Amino acid sequence: MPKAAYFHIPFCVNICHYCDFNKVFLKGQPVDEYLTAMEREMFNTIERFPYESMDTLFIGGGTPTALSAEQLDVFLSSVSRHFPVSQAKEYTVEANPEQTTAEKLEVLKKHGVNRLSIGAQAFQPSLLKELGRTHNASHVKKTVEEAKAAGITNLSIDLMFGLPGQTMEMFKESVEAAMELDVPHISSYSLQVEPKTVFYIRSQKGQLNLPAQELEAEMFEYLISELKKHGIAQYEISNFAKPGYESLHNLQYWENNEYYGIGAGSHSYVNGVRRVNAGPLKKYMNLIENTDFPYTEENHLSMHEKMEEEMFMGLRKRVGVSCAVFKKRYGVSLMDVFGEQISKLKQNGLLEQEGDMIKLTSRGVLLGNEVFSEFIGVL
């Protein structure tokens, strides 16, 4: 039974060159009608799949803070009508620095939002322009200061590495700038060139100058080491936090727990079934209007698929996968199911066992995808 819910706001003032999430330009879109459709999906979903309690709520995008203060107020009010906001341990909103005003932050705080995920990505004007971002370093600093002033102190900064034209010095500069903001959480991802993005089109034309893989690995190792010096520990491959500030919502995914997904293009995992919502706004709203639910795909997971997901999601966490939890969930021993793969990865120095936990070694963290692939399609 889900204890987490994700809400998707697909609107963006501009489209970033690397982003393959479901999104549309804000201008001219039926924003109010879309928010109404989302509320109807909330009502129908909870009526069909009731919850007992909710631990985390997460509003992502797109750009949630592209909504006006009034639209945010309307939307967050609708969330409160269907989900126990006051009960949530963590209530996160993704924020673009240049669109997150003090007025909008007051609206977020009024509705119980207690965590902000701020899309900084980099701090150099040249890199931000390369990414298609429209903010600058001062916007990030202002957003952090105004969020703290509004009483939202659980803040996360997104950083990217392996970017076109990015040097090691640039990345060090960005990490230092993020540390100066004094936030308790950092999410940092290497650039993935995804289909249907500006970067993909440029790469197909041979016009994307990416750092060498060795330099990208050097950036990642520097990140881990430098954040550790500041008391910010790596708790998942791409996520770092001071003690007590780990993302509770994302841990729901990595621990293979169930969750609701509300909005165009959202994914949900309820009663052992993974569902995908229609992405295009018109199709999403038409499905809500005519069938009550916007699903375009339903995948009923087999026990084997669930066990595979337990491994390649759970191993992303630095603490790893618990043998006892695996046995309790699936009724079989982890080593009976995946003993061959685990032994091979141990021999290769990619996995290790510490008490009840099977986890990545330091080398395994750098070669995570190689490890995860060992558990896919083997049953």
pLDDT tens digits, one per residue of 295-342: 999 999 999 999 999 999 999 999 999 999 999 999 999 999 999 999
Strand partners for 5: 57, 260
Contact 315, 372 (CB under 8 A): yes
In CATH, what number does 4-254 get? 3.80.30.20
Q: Would you state the pLDDT for residue 228? A: 97
Residue the block writes with tokens 């970017």: 163
pLDDT tens digits, one per residue of 45-77: 999 999 999 999 999 999 999 999 999 999 999
CA 206 → CA 66, 156, 201, 216, distances in Å? 33, 34, 9, 19
Q: Which residue has the higher pLDDT, 20 or 267?
A: 267
Residues 6, 265: Cα–Cα separation, whole Å: 11
Q: Which residue has the higher pLDDT, 26 or 260?
A: 260
Token duo for residue 44: 């129908």
The arithmetic mean of pLDDT across residues 241-255, rounded, is: 97
The arithmetic mean of pLDDT across residues 29-57, rounded, is: 97
pLDDT tens digits, one per residue of 357-379: 999 999 999 999 999 999 988 76
Contact 67, 11 (CB under 8 A): yes
Q: Would you state the pLDDT for residue 103? A: 97
Residues 20, 29: Cα–Cα separation, whole Å: 19
| Antiparallel, parallel or unpaired: β 11-12 and 4-9 | unpaired
Residues 148, 10: Cα–Cα separation, whole Å: 26
303-373 carries CATH number 1.10.10.920: yes
Q: Would you state the pLDDT for residue 379? A: 63
In angstroms, how far is CA 66 from the centroid of its own chain?
18
Closest CA to 198 of 14, 16, 13, 10: 16
Q: Would you state the pLDDT for residue 14? A: 87
pTM, two decimals, is: 0.96
The arithmetic mean of pLDDT across residues 141-168, rounded, is: 97
Domains of the chain, residue spans: 4-254, 303-373
| Antiparallel, parallel or unpaired: β 24-25 and 357-360 | unpaired
Q: Where are the alpha helices (DSSP H) in the chain?
A: 31-48, 69-82, 102-110, 125-131, 137-150, 168-180, 198-204, 213-229, 248-254, 281-291, 303-314, 323-330, 334-347, 362-366, 368-373
pLDDT tens digits, one per residue of 295-306: 999 999 999 999
Residues 178, 159: Cα–Cα separation, whole Å: 8
The arithmetic mean of pLDDT across residues 260-279, rounded, is: 98
Question: Above 90 in pLDDT, residue 21?
Answer: no
Percent of the chain predicted with pLDDT > 90 = 94
Token duo for residue 337: 């199911």
Question: Above 80 in pLDDT, residue 197?
Answer: yes
